[in-house]
Structure 1
Amino acid sequence: MMKKIFALCLVAPCFATAQFKGPLPVIKSPVFKKDTLSIVKTGAVPDGNTLNTKSINAAIETLTKRGGGVVYVPNGLWLTGPIVLKSNINLHLAAGATLLFTKDFNQYPLVEANWEGLQQMRNQSPISATNATNIAITGKGIVDGNGDAWRMVKKDKLTESQWKRLVASGGVLNEDKKGWYPSEKALKGSKMSNPGAISPEKDAAFFNSIKDFLRPNLVLLTGCKQILLEGVTFQNSPAWTLHPLMSEHLTVRNVNVKNPWYAQNGDGIDVESCKNVLIENSVFDVGDDGLCMKSGRDAEGRKRGMATENVIIRGCTVYASHGGFVIGSEMSGGVKNVYVSNCTFIGSDVGLRFKTTRGRGGVVENIFIRDIYMKDLPGDAILFDMYYAAKDPVPLAGEKRELPVIETKPVSEATPVFKNFQISNIYCNGADRGVFVRGLPEMPVKDIVMENMVLQAKKGIEIQEGNGITFKNVHIISDETEPVVDIIQSSGLVFDKFNFKKGASLLFRVSGDRSKDIQIKNTDATSAGQKIQYELGASEKSVSLK
């Protein structure tokens, strides 16, 4: 086992240190005593039927009293209820070991926790730790949350035979028969607005009446320091899978995170209000966002005031997901100083996804991304959206969505900010759209540099309410070529060495009376049927073509 503290400096070879202002962070990994205790010694039985909650927690408690060490889970199928990690404990799963969390909801007491950035009442997480230092989950085994027992499922996301099988298994359907819920309590909770919120008028009886709706995150680490997650497969989570919250010095290495692609809220990892984080060489194949940075929601998140900062992500692969690398939408405490490199996104709805909405507030800044490889994305390769509406990024077949009403509102602490992103060396083979930017009239997406990119997609680039955005050495290979680039009410845009598919009908469409200071340079536009079209108040004065 580990014999010393490893200090990992967050200096990736592909990033110039001049891009990062201030000292580079150092991540401290945990160190453990050699003392090892098998859960068999405290009575655990690996038959998949015996409930081992007391035995596993007893092993943790015994070693804690000795000053810590390794709680060893041998090969076998270990059925259990919630496990609570303590300081100086490494929960080590041998190859062939599966921690299988019970489907019996009664084993999960209701506790005050956090849900999507807000304080909420939830079922206790299968694995949790609070204010612990020096903790780890390591090994080659599997942590299975039995999430199928908890999650609601949309009919449109299953085949006909899968849907029939699910309905026949039990549970209840909602009124339109298009949503399956595991129980009446789960269905009851789904009909309420923010039912888990803690308030004086809600007593224990109320929360118990909707208990099954209050799904837990698989691994919840709150206020912890020096955390290591390494080698383990985390799968089938009731909700978010890995949720470090207000924690420091987190290392996630060589893990696999797996949820069904239709898993509601089945995020891979949500790093919320954490500092000094390294995520590397890990694989995510999940039902919602893959690698996600958060920092609380709305006024409650701003009051907490804890940004997610000093994060490096490298060498990761994301398959099914709503987004490969994601920031938001709960980012009210801010996100800053994040480095992402050498990652691959295959089949994720969106590649790089940055989402927020009015009311969040918070500043997202100093985000450095490079060497990203994408394939077969149903949505956008790169997306900035300040009108996030809590819906899947790609509509289901037949689903109708209304465009947001565009209006200017006063800037306040509730106005979100996206600024200072540097994105380079991005290669995408197959997407619905290359780049989509949608800011607010009162707060555009600003100060973004995108360079050295080849994006093959059905549609090219759309920018609405953007300011100070540079595209340098960008090649858009789009099927739809009228226009390749659609600019709406945006200013300070630079297209330098911009390349496009020859024979495009219309290269640029510029719309809106606030579109101005747009530069197109070092670009051969001769193969386009029409170079620039002006609409809705835009004019030739808006664009400089050199």
Structure 2
Amino acid sequence: MIKYCLAFLMFTVSCTTLTAQNIKAPAPTVFKTDTFNITSYGARADGLTLNTKSINDAIADCNKKGGGVVLIPQGFWLTGPIVLLSNVNLHLAKDALLQFTDDKTQYKLVEGNYEGLPAYRNQSPLSATNAENIAITGSGIIDGNGGVWRAVNHDKLSETEWENLLKKGGIVSDDGKQWYPSESYVRGTKTKKPGVIEAGKTLNDYASIKDFLRPNLLVFTKCKRVLLEGVTFQNSPAWCLHPLMCEDLTVRNIYAKNPWYAQNGDGIDVESCSNVLIENSTFDVGDDGICIKSGRDEEGRKRGMPTQNVEIKNCVVYHAHGGFVIGSEMSGGAKNIYVHDCTFIGTDIGLRFKTVRGRGGVVENIYASDINMKDIVNEAILFDMYYFASPKIVDGIPQVEYKPVDAGTPVFKDFYFDNVVCNGASEAIFIRGLPEMHISNINLSNMVLQANKGIECSEATGINFKNIQLVTKETSPVIHVINSDKILFDNIGYNDNAALLMKLSGEKTKDIKIVNSNTSNAKQLAAFNGTEESALTKE
């Protein structure tokens, strides 16, 4: 039998809490009512006519005349890349399908940014640069035709799906495990830093791998007062929605949808943006669902634009690598972010924070509350400063190398999470910092976490667990602390008759406290692996 404590349900966070009132709300968009119907510019809804010129002409005319609404009426509209201009609301009527063409020649190579670095990419189906007061609204569907761009792993498809894919042509790897859309794509997989802009190279140097340089479905760069509302964005070649260095962004009631196997098929990547609201939206994608970024490594630090003043509320994330994510390209920093009243169902990880040496950047003042999770594949809550790597484990202790702190050393600090419920995960909480830069001041309270494993905390300082109920299959240990200090466990619940409540490992582990907890439910309170027994105190 598992015991629950009424005090667990009554506890209120005592720390200073970030709320919606503390975050600067994005300035709203305002448009004239003048309507520019794309049919007036020659567009035809036959699924055959390429309407690129008609739609862009309507946008240009709307912009020239002071702005208004460019209407995509009901129907099937085939098009190439669309560029949004200031004071234009691109509005999709109900039952309107805006289908981007599978003819890759329509997408020219352009200078852009991908995964935090300046890079040549194919022109995005939807783009805007230095525009103000722009929107995409309505209740229609925008389809990026991503299937013609993406490679696909054989293991991610049924045999019938695989056979149907092969009928489209393309190239299969020698081992039969991978399908590629073209030879150009295959060349890209063999190219070092494909697409990354380097001194001495021109656009022509990238032409031979053009197919590999997949576009994001939507890229808005350095835009102000942006609204995305009501529309379904689906089947992106790479990331679905990518606002980059924008101010005053509102995303409301949208649906971002990609196949679950879509490589780099993120839902939304908010990069180096300020004053952001994402609400009442649904994400079901192939990579991270709702993701915060700010550039990569030295380029991101040079840009120096953190993503800040962000509220995310009332959103649902289904399949995704992470429900809410920060990183790993967070070199410009991230701060003042509040995520609340969200649900993650079937994501690989629930709350995911990832970085690696070389990124640099400071992630701080991150708040999450009232988060519900179900059927999480891996960790419910994860902080990991070893993204892309897994240190070797010897006798239960990660063998990590201490390196000097420099500009490339990332920082995770000042996180406050409250009222989280997870029904099903591989592990409840995983925290792994660097020996030279511990993850610090993480405050987790009021949680009921059902998972195979409990808590693992490594290379961390000042971590507070308060009113945490752990319902785990593995009970030896329920909690593992490794080379960490100033760790407080206050009112911790766990399975009756757990074999081992806590394991403390590493000579650097010290100042571990457990208070207000019934430790008699465990057959053994603690085991010490290279740690002094005095490191643990119980009150």
* Alignment match, 1:4: none
Give identity over the alignment, percent: 59
* Alignment match, 2:370: 371
* Alignment match, 1:170: 169
What is the identity, as a one-letter code, of the residue corresponding to 1:502? D
* Alignment match, 2:469: 475
- Tell me, yes or no, if the aligned pair for 1:336 and 1:365 is still in contact at 8 Å: yes
Residue 459 in 1 paired to residue 453 in 2?
yes
* Alignment match, 1:19: 17
What is the identity, as a one-letter code, of the residue corresponding to 1:385? D
**TM-score, length basis structure 2:** 0.95
Q: For each residue in 1:45-101, what CA deviation from the matched residue of structure 2 results, as whole angstroms up to 9, or x when unmatched?
A: 001111000000000011111011100000001000000000000000000001100
Deviation (angstroms), 1:362: 0.2
What is the identity, as a one-letter code, of the residue corresponding to 2:221? T
Distance change in 2, residues 1:54/1:292 (3 Å): same
* Alignment match, 1:64: 63
Deviation (angstroms), 1:527: 1.6
- Equivalent residue in structure 2 for 1:519, among 513, 518, 535: 513
Distance (Å, rounded) in 2 between the aligned partners of 1:378 and 1:199 = 39
Residue 407 in 1 paired to residue 405 in 2?
no
* Alignment match, 1:343: 342
- Tell me, yes or no, if the aligned pair for 1:215 and 1:239 is still in contact at 8 Å: yes
Q: For each residue in 1:127-153, what CA deviation from the matched residue of structure 2 results, as whole angstroms up to 9, or x when unmatched?
A: 000000000000000000000110111
- Tell me, yes or no, if the aligned pair for 2:297 and 2:358 is still in contact at 8 Å: yes
Distance change in 2, residues 1:106/1:423 (3 Å): same
Residue 154 in 1 paired to residue 153 in 2?
yes
What is the identity, as a one-letter code, of the residue corresponding to 2:246? S
Distance (Å, rounded) in 2 between the aligned partners of 1:323 and 1:52 = 36
SS of the aligned residue for 1:506 comes to coil
Distance change in 2, residues 1:433/1:25 (3 Å): same
* Alignment match, 2:329: 330
Distance change in 2, residues 1:406/1:435 (3 Å): same
Distance change in 2, residues 1:108/1:316 (3 Å): same
Distance (Å, rounded) in 2 between the aligned partners of 1:144 and 1:466 = 44
SS of the aligned residue for 2:48 comes to coil
Distance (Å, rounded) in 2 between the aligned partners of 1:436 and 1:156 = 28
- Tell me, yes or no, if the aligned pair for 1:387 and 1:404 is still in contact at 8 Å: no
* Alignment match, 1:187: 186
What is the identity, as a one-letter code, of the residue corresponding to 2:31? F
What is the identity, as a one-letter code, of the residue corresponding to 2:343? T
Distance (Å, rounded) in 2 between the aligned partners of 1:86 and 1:225 = 11
Distance (Å, rounded) in 2 between the aligned partners of 1:248 and 1:448 = 29
* Alignment match, 2:432: 438
Residue 359 in 1 paired to residue 358 in 2?
yes
* Alignment match, 1:289: 288
**TM-score, length basis structure 1:** 0.93
Deviation (angstroms), 1:404: 7.7
Distance (Å, rounded) in 2 between the aligned partners of 1:215 and 1:390 = 26
Deviates most, 494-503 or 19-28: 19-28
Distance (Å, rounded) in 2 between the aligned partners of 1:527 and 1:385 = 31
- Tell me, yes or no, if the aligned pair for 1:142 and 1:233 is still in contact at 8 Å: yes
Q: For each residue in 1:433-474, what CA deviation from the matched residue of structure 2 results, as whole angstroms up to 9, or x when unmatched?
A: 000001000011110000000000011111111110000000
Distance (Å, rounded) in 2 between the aligned partners of 1:18 and 1:420 = 11
Residue 499 in 1 paired to residue 493 in 2?
yes
SS of the aligned residue for 2:501 comes to strand
Gap regions ≥5 residues in structure 2: 1-11, 391-396
Residue 307 in 1 paired to residue 301 in 2?
no
- Matching of residues 12-161 of structure 1 within 5 Å: 18-20=16-18, 24-161=23-160
- Tell me, yes or no, if the aligned pair for 2:214 and 2:238 is still in contact at 8 Å: yes
Distance change in 2, residues 1:105/1:151 (3 Å): same
Distance (Å, rounded) in 2 between the aligned partners of 1:329 and 1:166 = 32
SS of the aligned residue for 2:120 comes to strand
- Tell me, yes or no, if the aligned pair for 2:13 and 2:445 is still in contact at 8 Å: no
What is the identity, as a one-letter code, of the residue corresponding to 2:187? K
Q: For each residue in 1:456-510, what CA deviation from the matched residue of structure 2 results, as whole angstroms up to 9, or x when unmatched?
A: 0011111111110000000000001110001110100000000001111110000
Deviation (angstroms), 1:405: 5.3
Deviation (angstroms), 1:203: 3.4
- Tell me, yes or no, if the aligned pair for 1:352 and 1:382 is still in contact at 8 Å: yes
* Alignment match, 1:213: 212
How many residue pairs are counted as aligned between the two chains?
A: 521
- Tell me, yes or no, if the aligned pair for 1:75 and 1:96 is still in contact at 8 Å: yes
SS of the aligned residue for 1:186 comes to helix
Distance (Å, rounded) in 2 between the aligned partners of 1:382 and 1:204 = 42
> Which structure's relative contact order is higher, taking Cα pairs within 8 Å and 6+ residues apart?
2
Deviation (angstroms), 1:19: 2.9
What is the identity, as a one-letter code, of the residue corresponding to 1:132? A
Deviation (angstroms), 1:175: 3.2
What is the identity, as a one-letter code, of the residue corresponding to 2:123? Q
Deviation (angstroms), 1:26: 2.7
Distance (Å, rounded) in 1 between the aligned partners of 2:13 and 2:99 = 41
Q: For each residue in 1:81-127, what CA deviation from the matched residue of structure 2 results, as whole angstroms up to 9, or x when unmatched?
A: 00000000000000000110000000001000000000000000000
What is the identity, as a one-letter code, of the residue corresponding to 2:536? V
SS of the aligned residue for 2:46 comes to coil
Distance (Å, rounded) in 2 between the aligned partners of 1:121 and 1:475 = 49
- Tell me, yes or no, if the aligned pair for 1:174 and 1:187 is still in contact at 8 Å: no
- Tell me, yes or no, if the aligned pair for 2:366 and 2:416 is still in contact at 8 Å: yes
Distance change in 2, residues 1:251/1:16 (3 Å): farther
Deviation (angstroms), 1:233: 0.2
Distance change in 2, residues 1:476/1:185 (3 Å): same
Distance (Å, rounded) in 2 between the aligned partners of 1:221 and 1:259 = 19
Distance change in 2, residues 1:28/1:390 (3 Å): farther
* Alignment match, 2:260: 261
Gap regions ≥5 residues in structure 1: 1-13, 392-402
Distance change in 2, residues 1:93/1:450 (3 Å): same
Distance (Å, rounded) in 1 between the aligned partners of 2:58 and 2:398 = 54
* Alignment match, 1:447: 441
* Alignment match, 1:8: none
Deviation (angstroms), 1:36: 0.4
- Equivalent residue in structure 2 for 1:539, among 503, 511, 532: 532
* Alignment match, 1:509: 503
- Tell me, yes or no, if the aligned pair for 1:451 and 1:472 is still in contact at 8 Å: yes
- Equivalent residue in structure 2 for 1:425, among 415, 419, 424: 419
Q: For each residue in 1:354-378, what CA deviation from the matched residue of structure 2 results, as whole angstroms up to 9, or x when unmatched?
A: 0000000000000010000000011
- Tell me, yes or no, if the aligned pair for 1:381 and 1:431 is still in contact at 8 Å: yes
What is the identity, as a one-letter code, of the residue corresponding to 2:342? C
SS of the aligned residue for 2:192 comes to coil
Deviation (angstroms), 1:205: 3.5
